[in-house]
Structure 1
Amino acid sequence: MADLLKKFFKGLELDSRMLGMIGALLLLWISFNFFTDGRFLTPRNLFNLSVQTASVAVMATGMVFVIVTRHIDLSVGSLLGFLGMLMGALQVHILPQYLGFGHPTIWIITVIFGIGIGVLIGAAQGWVIGFLAVPSFIVTLGGFLIYRGAAWWVTTGQTVAPLDVTYKLLGGGAEGTLGADISWLAGAAASIIAVVLMIQSRRQKQSHGFSLKPIWAEYTLGAIAVAMIMGFVTVMNSYPLSKGAVKRIFDARSEEIPQFAVVHGVAIPVLIVVIVAIVMTLVAKKTRFGRYIFATGGNPEAAELSGVDTKMLTVKVFALMGGLTAIAAVIASARLGSVGNDLGTLDELRVIAAAVIGGTALSGGFGTIYGALLGALIMQSLQSGMAMVGVDAPLQSIVVGLVLVLAVYLDIAYRRRAGK
């Protein structure tokens, strides 16, 4: 029996590090579920967990590229707060004067503006790092202080609220979801995309003469992927809306309140994370830009001698990080429905921790998008679980710090054993 299991897992050719992360996540969930008398693994808590993870997960995908190129970005938390404050002030104090309150284009203009500013700020930081050769640690540490102070000056410390109604849908909540029917369709579409990508990957390997997994392994992995996607949708569609939320939503639509239970479905922030993850994965694996990033991280001197403009590459990587930080700022501010001076506090540490726990090597050259997403989910699960158990905030920080150090140690040990 043991030999059969060993042969089975060998045939699947799964990344042992990823299996370890999944095992750690499941262990966390089961432990917290036990200590919370079954309240952790409920549709309600898993829905909240998915929404709470979204903003950090989006930034973690960009941090993978930053760390792979042997840099670091300590400014993302403060930049998130600054961009959130700018977007809040724009949609609350400026645009209504010209377009009127509740205008349907307010949220669109706000999001485009925020992403644009984020890209510009990120590119500026990348230019200083790449062309002026100032270490990224120093540049982004300066940004950490600058943007937090700048956020205060935008509104002289006042909280910006209420945000645009449509804009707030991007943060999840009762209204910010796909609903049951669209969630099923989205799950089916995601399942089809996953299977198609697996087929294309196998055909590409075959065309280049690479060794292939047994066909039964491909079918098994496809079935696992579809089961995970549809299982997640099933859980999200098992969380019913409260009677008050149902009444509020259908009154706003001037529709009759239905007699059947109305469920949340997949939250919009989760859909944003999925889209970002797919795009970033394709960028990493299918584009010249992605190949240059990993080549530069593996050996900067060799990459430069091969014709890679590493200076401009640094500008592009940090510009991308700035744009993703703006998207995260949209999710975080929309979820809260307001923007305060504490928005994004310590998020830089959570983002870096998510990327590192997910397997991104601090020495550069290696990292995965799916690993960063798993790392973000592990971090948020740890914090949410400790809060539900009743662990004091100072002790939560101690535990998270210890987990980060342990994760880096295990990563170093793993790479030494694997000879990477």
Structure 2
Amino acid sequence: MTKTPLSAPPVTPGHTAVGGNPVKRFLAATEIDTRLLGMLAALLLIWGGFHMYGAIVNGNGAFLTPRNLWNLSVQTSSIGIMATGMVLVIITRNIDLSVGSLIGVTGMTMGILQVDVLPQILGLGHWSIWIITCAVGIALGALIGAFHGWLIAYRGIPSFIVTLGGLMVWRGMAFIANGGKTISPVDSTFALLGGGPGGNVGATGSWIVGALGCAGVVWLLVQGRKQRVKHEFPKRPMWAEVTLGAIGCGAIVGAVLLMNAYPLPVGILRRLDLPEDAFVSHGFAIPVLIMMAVGIAMTILMTRTRFGRYVFAIGGNPEAAALAGINTRWMTLKIFALMGALTGIAAVIASARLNSATNALGTLDELYVIAAAVIGGTSLAGGVGTIYGAILGALVMQSLQSGMVLIGFDAAIQRIVVGMVLVLAVYLDNLYRARTK
């Protein structure tokens, strides 16, 4: 089981169990996860390194700009959404190698549905086309995931083999579905879900999102303190609570300012009959908001529900979990079904962003998803993992890919770097677990 704030060492105002080191006292009082700090430091190092490299070599650092960081947030969305599901899969000592191919087959199915099928039934441009398409894509992903889970749980086939087979089968099915041809363009409303032109909420919408986020941070801190009092657990010092609230709200406000600093291009301003010199902010892209919603929902699922407790129990000791009365096979099926549904959501974003459906959609995404989960602190030994860590890991992986594209590394070099980072992440995880035993 992962450590939660409720199981943290006693910390009371005016007294800590940590000696004279101010940094250790601060971390002990605020209970900030040191792994999170490590990932944030690595992310800042990556961003700064790519920006400086561009400034030195090209005379113009293009990485740390509102435009690139806005695009980076959109690019991270589909990987981040799938990584939240991969956390559950890996926690329970399984693996899913088929998620990239699942994006391909669900994306192609949605493309055929909204371009060739539904317009013939409902009429071209009907308002419900995008809703039906999304529902079918997510349901298809959940169905395929449940099938994988059934083979693993009820037929005893290792998850590595089932999903490796799925990687090849579903990629082939994506090709067969439309003879390898690309389907384009998709429904105009559906395309907004990819964050393309118009697929954002603007400055006002972003500030509303930011205000709700800050309110959520305060609510979580207040509720957490009430729970500690109720169950007679040690409370954090009030200054630590205030500091955590300030950090959380500060990060949210900073993200809003960054997203609002990227203006709409001249072409879209003309289309909207606005002056070409007008400054109209993009704000948060719709895919980013979807990723936020998925991250919050998955965090609640993992930390506040019986389902989440069962997941960690199975990952910690599958035999003991079964003896305790947990239906481990049914749980495995549900976990893979959830993974499939999240892959369906990612397929919606990926195909909408491209404004097309291709059989190659999602190629090699399984590597980035697994790497994101592992970099985010999910242990391949099972039993340990966080949702926020997986999303941050996805941001790290996408930052590496985006930065290498900006400085001109070809695809071969990019794959080499991704492979090295994945191996390094597992090695560091082993060191961390050995140190904390």
Give the % identical residues: 59
1:290 is aligned to: 308
Letter in 2 for 1:245: I
Cα distance in 2 between the residues matched to 1:140 and 1:187: 39
**For residue 119 of structure 2, what is the aligned residue in structure 1?**
96
Q: Distance in 1 between matches of 2:403 and 2:204?
A: 30
On the 8 A contact 2:82/2:369 being kept in 1, the answer is: yes
Instruction: Give secondary structure in 2 for the equivalent of 1:171.
Output: coil
2:328 corresponds to = 310
Kept after mapping to 1: 8 A contact 2:270/2:276: no
After TM superposition, the structure 1 = structure 2 runs for residues 268-347 of structure 1, keeping only pairs within 5 Å, are 268-347=286-365
Structure 1, residues 100-124: CA drift from partner, whole Å, max 9, x if none?
1111110000001111111111111
Q: Report 1:4-403 matches (<5 A).
A: 4-37=22-55, 38-248=61-271, 250=272, 260-403=278-421
Q: Residues 372 and 390 of structure 2 are in contact (CA less than 8 Å); yes or no, is this contact kept in structure 1?
A: yes
Determine the C-alpha separation between the residues in 1 that align with 2:277 and 2:434: 60
The one-letter code of the counterpart of 2:149 is G
With over 3 angstroms needed to count, the CA separation of the structure-2 counterparts of 1:257 and 1:100, relative to structure 1, is: farther
Separation in 2 of the partners of 1:210 and 1:116?
42
Which ranges in structure 1 are unaligned for 5 or more consecutive residues?
A: none
Structure 1 residue 9: deviation in Å? 3.0
- Aligned 8 A contact 2:266 2:276 in 1: no
Whether the 8 Å CA contact 2:36–2:389 is kept in 1: the answer is: yes
1:392 Cα offset (Å): 2.1
Whole-angstrom distance in 1 between the partners of 2:24 and 2:374: 28
Whole-Å separation in 1 of the counterparts to 2:154 and 2:84: 24
Post-superposition Cα deviations, 1:208-237, rounded to whole Å, max 9, x if no partner, equal 122222111111011100011110010100
The Cα shift of 1:395 comes to 1.3
The CA deviation at 1:13 is: 1.7
- Offset of 1:259 from its aligned partner? 7.0
CA contact (8 A) 1:77 1:347 kept: yes
Q: Give the AA of the match of 1:60.
A: A
RMSD: 1.2
SS at match of 1:36: helix
Structure 1-normalised TM-score? Answer: 0.96
Number of positions where the alignment pairs a residue of Structure 1 with one of Structure 2: 413
**TM-score by structure 2 length?**
0.93
Q: Deviation of residue 247 (structure 1)?
A: 2.0
2:9 corresponds to: none
Q: How big is each residue's C-alpha offset from its partner over 1:160-207, in whole Å with a ceiling of 9 and x where there is no partner?
A: 110000000000023100111111111111111122112212211221
Which digits, 9 at most, give the CA deviation of each residue in 1:25-71, with x for residues without a partner? 01111111111222101100000000000000000000000000110
Moved over 2 A (4+): 2-10, 256-260
The 1:6–1:301 alpha-carbon spacing in structure 2 relative to 1, beyond 3 Å, is closer
Partner AA of 2:408 in structure 1: G
Q: Residues of 2 paired with 1:153 and 1:228: CA distance?
A: 46
Query: Which residues of structure 2 form unaligned runs of 5+?
Result: 1-19, 56-60
Partners of 1:340 and 1:217 lie apart in 2 by: 50
